[in-house]
Every structure is written in structure tokens, then in C-alpha cells.
């Protein structure tokens, strides 16, 4: 068995085009580290609807140039099988500032040229929404973004978009995966040193020109902000968008302003993670802005934080569902028409806002690859800080335009002597208090997630927090409106729970929502206390049922 493993590793080593990972793998072979080699060669990093994402390193279970070249070759073969055989189709490629991102982008471009397609690479590390915009702007047949979004520093990833500007969904993912599997040797994949186009600033200028369209003409632009790029690529584009819009220049969190693939000030470069916003809060305490804005490292997500007068003026993050509802209410107030959409794990408040406004509403599976495909989409959001506010420009979540829109809303409320929390209170009185929370368990061993899902399927809870489970759905079977997915949904009397494995991280995620009717503003404190207690008890009961 060990001899076979060493043979596999040596075969991989012979093809690896990267001196760094060749050296890494050679050291493991020379040391006879069969435990680590077995981990690296226990399979291949699977290509799915999230593309590829994983830890950097040598071997087929890691993100590296060999894996990326195979993925690019599979994508090229898929595109050619689907009619792009005349050499005129362009694949546009973007990348972030993580370790190896530029290398992976260059390899992808080379593979496309070698396959007889055209390739165009964005001029430098830029936000993911710029790539999503560029696909349709340039009339490309596909796009690739090299990014691991908000994953830890050791990770990288590979997102694939088709010509409609949205991420792949089944069956395209399985068809591309089959083409990747059909790549025998990297020596059979032509990779010329030249031939692709490096785009100029024109594509970014065109993206920035569209950002103006998300704002109402002559709207107030007075809100003062603190901004953190979370060591990612958002700063320059966001500052340019804010300057074009006429907002005051954001005060930067200097320690996190420039791209740094090691993310030195945060444990996880995700605004939702504990501690990630601490430096932004400190900057806000020093400068007293109206709002804090944060992007994740590839700037497709947007977080907002506000000063909470009920908590002694301390700063707190708004939940993704709160921002999602605020943006929806803002667009309704501006007279937006079209379909409002969200994923099933997001708050049901959006549906109530849309219904009251007489607007169509749709629920989709998790991920903007589904939200972006909703017919007639005007606005879509997901609780994980993702918002699509200009679907005609970017059919994906966009942390830059979302930042503009939430800052416009803060400005309008400021002109009225109000703030975002006042509007959230109004929404709670009008539609009921929709309180959400998440039970998220990060694991080293993925069998922990599988075991938890199995337990819940074999013995589904009949009650949580004393609320009867009125409907238990196994979403692997699909529903009348949803394709199959690995998830469980429990409907309770006044609450809802969804449990699913994360598609991008080794996490089990449980999404909780409690709805408490509110008769008047004076009833809000009691309603919030009731909701918080119920959410905490649901968490406890669900943890016990899942064995996590």
C-alpha cells in the first residue's frame, strides 16, 4: 500500500509545473511521511457548483497549479462541446490577492489559448463583482474568478461563471467535472506562454459607471463612514465608487486597508467572525461616523455596523438579514419594480415586505448561482452578507454597490433625523419582529457533519424550544419549487430552522428564525427579549438532537 502511495506521489511530482509545490511534495516523499501523503492523495479536490475551494499545497486534494490546469482544461473542453468551437469565444479571468491567485489566473488563460479559445485577464487583483460584470460587458462565453472569498489564508478557490454572468448550476458542474476527470496527463494540455489579452482599465471604468445606477438621482449623500477592506481587494474600487457618487470619503481602517494574503489582523477574514470587526469598531469610536462598512477580501459581500443607542452607544454589526431587509425597504420606498428573491436560509421578512408592496417574491436554494437566475429579478439577497442590487449589471452578489445603497439609505434617514435602527423598528411593528441567528459548527473531521445530518434524518425533532415541529422536510428530495439539496427544513409554530452542510467551508450550518408579533413600538423590547430566549433554547435543543 505504501509503495502504491509513493508511486502516485512520484507520478504527480513528475507533472507538477510549480517548483514550490514540487519541493514540498519531494520533501514528503523523501521523509516517507505516508500519513500526510495519504491525506494529499486520498482522492481529488471535487469540482462542484462552488467550483473548487481548498487548502493550498501539493497533491490532488489541495489547491495548486496542477489542479487548476486540469480544471481549466475541463472547462475549455466543456465550452467546446457546447458549441464554442470557432475560436471566437472569450473566457474572462479575474483574481484576488491571495497566495497563488495570479499564477492560477495566468495558467487558466494559457490553457484557454492552448484549447483554441480566447482569454482576457483583468488588469490586476480586483473584486469578484468586477469579473461578474466583465463577462456580460465583454460578451464572454464564460468567466473564472480565482478567489477563496472569506476563507482562511491557507485556502484558495476557483469560481466558474457562464456567459450569462452567473455562477454555474447543475448539470453544468457535473459535466465540467467529467471533463476534468478525462484529463489524463498535464503534458497533454497545451499551455502557450503568450496569446491572451490583459485588459486595461476600461472594464473597471465601465463597472464603476454602472455603480451610479444603483442610487436615486439627487438623493442625500451625507452619511459619514468608516471602511475596512479586511486585507482584501475592495478598497480602491469602493473609494472610487464613493467618490463618483459624491459621498464623503470613507475613513479607512489603515491596518486592514491594503491587500495582504496572510490576513494578519484577523483569525478569519470574514466580517461575521468574532473579532474581525474590532479594528473598525475602534476607528468608529475615534471618529464617530454614521455607519461602518466592511467588505470581505474579494468584496462580493458587504457588512454594516451601527451605533446602538439602546446599548450605551456601542457599535454592533447588523445581521445580514437586517441589511437585506433594510435594502429591500429602501428599494420599495424608491418605487422599485420586479421580483424580490432570497435563499431559503434567509429571513422570511423579505417575503412580507414584497407582499405588502405587491411585488413578486421567490425563494431559491442557497447561493447566488440560484438567486441570479430568478426571472425578472430586481433585488436578491442572502443572509451571509450577499446582496444583488443591480442584476442588470452584476448577476451575483456585489459588496461595492451594496455599500453604496446602504450608505444612501443611511443618508436619507439622517436627513429625517433617523437612523437604520429606527427603520428596523418600523419594519418589526409593520411585519412582526423577525429575529434570526445561526448555529455554526466548524469541524476538522467531515464525518462529524455527516453523522449530525444522519441523526437528524433518523430521529427528526418533534419540538424545539417547546414549539411543535409542524412540518419536517428532507430537501434532498426537492420540493415543488426547489431542486434537491442536502438540507433539512423544520417549520415550527412561529419559528423556522434549516440545517445544511456549508458548500465552501468545513462547517455545519443551522439557520434559525423566530417571528414575534409586535403591536406597537413600545412592545419591541419585550418582543426582542422573547425572541432572544426562544432562539437560545432552539440552539440548545437542536445541538442536542444533532449531537454537536
Catalytic residue ranges = 149
Measured distance CA(233)–CA(225) in Å, rounded? 18
CA triplet 477, 483, 485: central angle to 5 degrees? 60
Measured distance CA(61)–CA(367) in Å, rounded? 24
Angle, helices 399-415/420-431, rounded to nearest 10 degrees: 90
> Would you give the DSSP letter of residue 236?
H
- Reference 293, options 388, 415, 400, 413; nearest CA is 400
Nine-digit cell string for 22: 514540487
Measured distance CA(474)–CA(106) in Å, rounded? 42
Residue owning grid cell 409542524: 470
Are 405 and 326 contacting, i.e. CB atoms less than 8 angstroms apart? Answer: no
Measured distance CA(160)–CA(145) in Å, rounded? 7
Are 117 and 91 contacting, i.e. CB atoms less than 8 angstroms apart? Answer: yes
* Rg of the chain taking only CA atoms, in angstroms: 24
Nine-digit cell string for 438: 445561526
* Residue 98 C-beta-side C-alpha neighbours within 13 Å: 32
Q: Which regions of 109-165 does DSSP assign to beta strands (E)?
A: 118-121, 142-146, 155-162
Nine-digit cell string for 138: 465583454
* Residue 412 C-beta-side C-alpha neighbours within 13 Å: 20
Amino acid at each position: 500500500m505504501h509503495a502504491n502511495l509513493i508511486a502516485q506521489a512520484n507520478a504527480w511530482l513528475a507533472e507538477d509545473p510549480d517548483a514550490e509545490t514540487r519541493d514540498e511534495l519531494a520533501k514528503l516523499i523523501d521523509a516517507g511521511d505516508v500519513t500526510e501523503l495519504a491525506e494529499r492523495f486520498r482522492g481529488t479536490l471535487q469540482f462542484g457548483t462552488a467550483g473548487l475551494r481548498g487548502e493550498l499545497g501539493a497533491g490532488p486534494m489541495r489547491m495548486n497549479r496542477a489542479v487548476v490546469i486540469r480544471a481549466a482544461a475541463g472547462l475549455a473542453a466543456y465550452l467546446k462541446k457546447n458549441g464554442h468551437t470557432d475560436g471566437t469565444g472569450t473566457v474572462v479571468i479575474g483574481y484576488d490577492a491571495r497566495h497563488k491567485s495570479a499564477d492560477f489566473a495566468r495558467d487558466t488563460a494559457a490553457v484557454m489559448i492552448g484549447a483554441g479559445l480566447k482569454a482576457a485577464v483583468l488588469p490586476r487583483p480586483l473584486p469578484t463583482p468586477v469579473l461578474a460584470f466583465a463577462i456580460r460587458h465583454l460578451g464572454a462565453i464564460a468567466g473564472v474568478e480565482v478567489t477563496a472569498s472569506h476563507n482562511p489564508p491557507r485556502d484558495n478557490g476557483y469560481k466558474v461563471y457562464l456567459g450569462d454572468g452567473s455562477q454555474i448550476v447543475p448539470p453544468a458542474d457535473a459535466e465540467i467535472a467529467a471533463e476534468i476527470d478525462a484529463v489524463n496527463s498535464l503534458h497533454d494540455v497545451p499551455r502557450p506562454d503568450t496569446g491572451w489579452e490583459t485588459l486595461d482599465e476600461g472594464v473597471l471604468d465601465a463597472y464603476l459607471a454602472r455603480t451610479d445606477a444603483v442610487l436615486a438621482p439627487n438623493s442625500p449623500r451625507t452619511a459619514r463612514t468608516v471602511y475596512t477592506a479586511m486585507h482584501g481587494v475592495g478598497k480602491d474600487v469602493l473609494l472610487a465608487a464613493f467618490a463618483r457618487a459624491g459621498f464623503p470619503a470613507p475613513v479607512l481602517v489603515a491596518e486592514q486597508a491594503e491587500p495582504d494574503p496572510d490576513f494578519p489582523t484577523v483569525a478569519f477574514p470574514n466580517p461575521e467572525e468574532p473579532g474581525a470587526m474590532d479594528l473598525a469598531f475602534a476607528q468608529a469610536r475615534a471618529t464617530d461616523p454614521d455607519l461602518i462598512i466592511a467588505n470581505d477580501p474579494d468584496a462580493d459581500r458587504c457588512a454594516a455596523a451601527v451605533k446602538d443607542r439602546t446599548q450605551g452607544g456601542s457599535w454592533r454589526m447588523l445581521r445580514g438579514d437586517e441589511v437585506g431587509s433594510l435594502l429591500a425597504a429602501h428599494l420599495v420606498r424608491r418605487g422599485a419594480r420586479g421580483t424580490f428573491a432570497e435563499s431559503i436560509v434567509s429571513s422570511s421578512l423579505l417575503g412580507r415586505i414584497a407582499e405588502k408592496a405587491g411585488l413578486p417574491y421567490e425563494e431559491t436554494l442557497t447561493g447566488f448561482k440560484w438567486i441570479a437566475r430568478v426571472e425578472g429579478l430586481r433585488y436578491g439577497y442572502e443572509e451571509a452578507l450577499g446582496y444583488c442590487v443591480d442584476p442588470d449589471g452584476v448577476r451575483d452578489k456585489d459588496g461595492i454597490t451594496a455599500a453604496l445603497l446602504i450608505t444612501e439609505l443611511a443618508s436619507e434617514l439622517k436627513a429625517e433625523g433617523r437612523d437604520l435602527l429606527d427603520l428596523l423598528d418600523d419594519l418589526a411593528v409593520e411585519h412582526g419582529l423577525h429575529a434570526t441567528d445561526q448555529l455554526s459548527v466548524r469541524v476538522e473531521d467531515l464525518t462529524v457533519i455527516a453523522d449530525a445530518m444522519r441523526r437528524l434524518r433518523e430521529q427528526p425533532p418533534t419540538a424545539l424550544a417547546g414549539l411543535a415541529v409542524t412540518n419536517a422536510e428532507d430537501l434532498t428530495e426537492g420540493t415543488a419549487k426547489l431542486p434537491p439539496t442536502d438540507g433539512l427544513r423544520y417549520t415550527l409554530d412561529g419559528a423556522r430552522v434549516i440545517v445544511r452542510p456549508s458548500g465552501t467551508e468545513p462547517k455545519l450550518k443551522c439557520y434559525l428564525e423566530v417571528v414575534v408579533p409586535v403591536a406597537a413600538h413600545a412592545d419591541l423590547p419585550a418582543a426582542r427579549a422573547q425572541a432572544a430566549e426562544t432562539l437560545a433554547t432552539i440552539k440548545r435543543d437542536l445541538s442536542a438532537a444533532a449531537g454537536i
